[in-house]
């Protein structure tokens, strides 16, 4: 056991390590026979979606003891999506770095990761992959379905929808305020197919959870049962030396991309999967998402692409029922934490409600995966989620209406004099990893009030930022390189004609290169990218990679392994 490097022997160092860790642990915990398992726990009162993870951790502990291991709880940086400003994504890499360093620094033989809210599972997976000790993930699970005045209420998605309804005069402010108390029905993360639900499913499709765990509602007792089982399983994984590098191979990323399309998952998964692949040395590119996933049909009828919520998906058969339909596109060799191929865990699963999970023969939509666009506006790529877009706008030409920042957007979007029509293309720049440090979820810009009042509910929107997984619309995002990194998005002028052709995979401005070459980013915009002088933001800006590479820090790509550090005394 790796932990024996701390606890083994008769010298003063081993004495120190053992003595301070006794506190109720039996002698056998230090004899080098029982795996020491760290539970990386993102429970926090300021991460409401992860608040219940201490209860989950207790079930994991029970399972670890029952299987002959020794559990230890390690609170980790937690990122509450709705609380932290300017954006939780600014600290995904910090949480990943802390996870990696604290696993390596401690007497740990195996790792259980407890995450939920959007950035927590990706951060934990990135960090653990760079250490490469036996690891499994327990997604904290979604909230139960909310409902408001008889209608299902989806976290995030219905906030966007209701706020647009208020601006369009279709909903009163009082009703909007009243809906707030119905939004969060139970413990757990967002109940739509937003980023948290998506990343839980990605963890399972990658092979990093016990089969059938992803999507188990946080309030369902089966989450605790599976957590107990996960605790037992991680002990076995240590004896088997089954590590992330055995599981996270290219085939497992193929499975994740196929799953992403089938469930209509969040565009944020593109960035997170690229970053995780970078940690384990799998050569995954943006183009893989298009090549592997774009022809995969949408089978899951969940908000924001559809109507149902995560509890409905769980009852209808869950992720495994979706994967079973898509089995022909899955990599048959990629393993999961059972040590067997993921596809083996699909035997016997069924769909129990075809209104929630469609059969492959009758999908909700064909060719629904992420499309990757290139052109003179996105030389390193941009993405669009056709499943959440208006079909009639997937091929479009229109004049650009440019906003230099999200504040500029908020100040002017409802100006009655704003020169905008249903043909316009809203462009928001300065929101990439460097420009707005962290890359916020602002790409799904609200529709101008005067157009909403005319009944127009979607426009083509282009941005170098991200959007919430709960959002929808014809939104081209993750444009790379971003304006702040010198990308051509910074060279656009109001009125330039933007060409979007998703079938042709094109995002371009109808201008010759020679005209673009003569332009530069407006000075005022360039100056607004004020670089912080110190602290994490300084480090982040100096080292963050562009969205098409996963927005990891350049010096965190790859892994350093689990070698035991030098003695501390």
Q: Give, as ranges, the residues between 418 and 457 that touch ligand FES (CB under 6 A).
A: none
Name which position in 67, 96, 102, 117 contacts ligand FES (CB under 6 A).
Answer: 117
Q: Is 189 in the site for ligand FES (CB under 6 A)?
A: yes
Residue among 474, 510, 484, 545 nearest 376 (CA): 510
Which stretch of DSSP H or E encloses residue 278?
helix 268-280
Q: Closest CB to ligand FES among 118 and 204? A: 118
Q: Is 460 helix (H, G, I), strand (E, B) or coil?
A: strand
Q: Is the dihedral of CA 193, 198, 204, 210 positive or negative?
A: negative
Sequence-distant (6+) residues with CB within 8 A of 531 are 538, 541
**Which one of 159-167, 190-198, 210-218, 554-562 is the stretch in contact with ligand FES (CB under 6 A)?**
190-198
3-state helix, strand, coil in the chain (%, to 5): 40, 15, 45
How far apart are CB 161 and ligand FES at their closest, in Å?
Answer: 16
Q: Which two tokens stand for residue 219?
A: 């309030």
Q: Could you say which of 194, 398, 481, 488 contacts ligand FES (CB under 6 A)?
A: 194
Query: What x-and-dash track marks residues 135-164 binding ligand FES by CB under 6 A?
Result: --------------------xx--------
Is residue 300 a contact partner of residue 277, using CB atoms and an 8 Å limit? no
Count interface residues toward ligand FES (CB under 6 A).
11
Give bridge partners of residue 40 from the DSSP assignment.
74, 113
Pick the closer one to ligand FES by CB: 159 or 452. Answer: 159
Q: What's the closest the beta carbon of residue 195 comes to ligand FES, in angstroms? A: 7
Q: Could you say which of 39, 190, 413, 498 contacts ligand FES (CB under 6 A)? A: 190
Q: Taking CA 382 as the corner, what is the angle to CA 502 and CA 533, rounded to the nearest 5 degrees? A: 160
Cβ proximity to ligand FES, 469 vs 487, nearer residue: 469
What distance in Å separates the CA atoms of residue 70 and residue 67, rounded to the nearest whole number? 9
Q: How far apart are CA 516 and CA 497, in angstroms?
A: 13
Shortest distance, position 118 Cβ to ligand FES, whole Å: 5
Beta bridge partners of 146: 153
Is 388 or 401 the residue whose CB approaches ligand FES more closely?
388
**Alpha-carbon separation of residue 250 from 136, 210, 246 (angstroms):** 18, 19, 11
- Choose, by CB under 6 A, the member of 114, 196, 323, 400 that binds ligand FES: 196
Answer for which of 38, 43, 49, 56 binds ligand FES (CB under 6 A) is 49
- By the rule CB under 6 A, 272 interacts with ligand FES: no
81 belongs to the binding site for ligand FES (CB under 6 A): yes
Binding positions for ligand FES, rule: CB under 6 A? 49, 81-82, 117-118, 155-156, 189-190, 194, 196
């Amino acid at each position: 056991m790796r932990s024996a490097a701390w606890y083994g022997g008769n010298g003063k160092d081993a004495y120190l390590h053992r003595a301070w860790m006794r506190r109720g642990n039996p002698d056998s915990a230090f004899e080098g026979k029982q795996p020491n398992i760290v539970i990386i726990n993102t429970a926090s009162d300021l991460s409401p979606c992860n608040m219940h993870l201490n209860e989950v951790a207790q079930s994991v502990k029970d399972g670890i003891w029952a299987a002959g291991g020794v559990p230890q709880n390690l609170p980790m940086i937690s990122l509450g999506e709705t609380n932290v400003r300017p954006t939780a994504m600014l600290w995904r890499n910090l949480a990943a770095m802390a996870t990696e360093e604290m696993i390596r620094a401690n007497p740990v033989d195996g790792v259980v990761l407890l995450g939920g809210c959007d950035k927590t599972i990706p951060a934990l997976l990135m960090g653990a992959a760079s250490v490469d000790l036996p690891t499994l993930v327990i997604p904290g699970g979604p909230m139960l379905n909310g409902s408001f005045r008889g209608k299902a209420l989806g976290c995030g998605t219905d906030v966007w929808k209701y706020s647009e309804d208020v601006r369009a005069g279709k909903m009163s402010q009082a009703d909007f305020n009243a809906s707030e108390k119905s939004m969060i029905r139970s413990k757990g993360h967002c109940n739509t197919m937003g980023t948290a639900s998506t990343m839980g499913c990605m963890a399972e499709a990658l092979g990093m959870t016990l089969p059938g765990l992803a999507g188990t509602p946080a309030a369902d007792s089966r989450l605790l049962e599976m957590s107990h089982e996960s605790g037992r399983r991680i002990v076995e994984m240590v004896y088997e030396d089954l590590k992330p590098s055995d599981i996270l191979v290219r085939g497992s990323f193929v499975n994740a991309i196929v799953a992403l399309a089938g469930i209509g998952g969040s565009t944020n998964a593109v960035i997170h999967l690229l970053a995780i692949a970078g940690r384990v040395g799998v050569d995954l590119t943006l183009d893989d998402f298009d090549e592997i996933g774009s022809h995969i049909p949408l089978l899951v009828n969940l908000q924001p692409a559809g109507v149902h919520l995560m509890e409905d998906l769980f009852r209808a058969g869950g992720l495994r029922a979706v994967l079973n339909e898509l089995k022909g596109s899955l990599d048959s060799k990629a393993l999961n934490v059972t040590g067997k191929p993921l596809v083996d865990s699909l035997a016997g699963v069924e769909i129990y409600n075809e209104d929630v999970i469609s059969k492959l023969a009758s999908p909700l939509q064909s060719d629904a995966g992420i499309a990757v666009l290139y052109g003179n506006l996105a030389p390193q790529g941009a993405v669009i989620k056709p499943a959440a877009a208006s079909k009639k706008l997937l091929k479009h030409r229109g004049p650009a209406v440019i906003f230099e920042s999200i504040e500029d957007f908020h100040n002017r979007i409802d100006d009655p004099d704003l020169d905008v029509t249903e043909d316009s293309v809203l462009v928001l720049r300065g929101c990439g990893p460097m420009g707005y440090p962290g890359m916020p979820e602002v790409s799904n810009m609200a529709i101008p009030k005067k157009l909403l009042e005319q009944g127009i509910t979607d426009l083509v929107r282009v941005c170098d930022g991200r959007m919430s997984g709960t959002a929808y619309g014809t939104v081209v995002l993750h444009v790379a390189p971003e304006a702040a990194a010198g990308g051509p998005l910074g060279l656009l002028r109001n009125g330039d004609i933007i060409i979007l052709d998703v079938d042709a995979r094109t995002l371009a401005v109808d201008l010759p290169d020679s005209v673009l070459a003569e332009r530069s980013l407006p000075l005022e915009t360039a100056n607004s990218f004020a670089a912080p002088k110190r602290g994490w933001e300084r480090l982040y800006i100096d080292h963050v990679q562009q969205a098409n590479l996963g927005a990891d820090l350049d010096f965190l790509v790859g892994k350093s392994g689990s070698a035991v550090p030098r003695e501390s005394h």
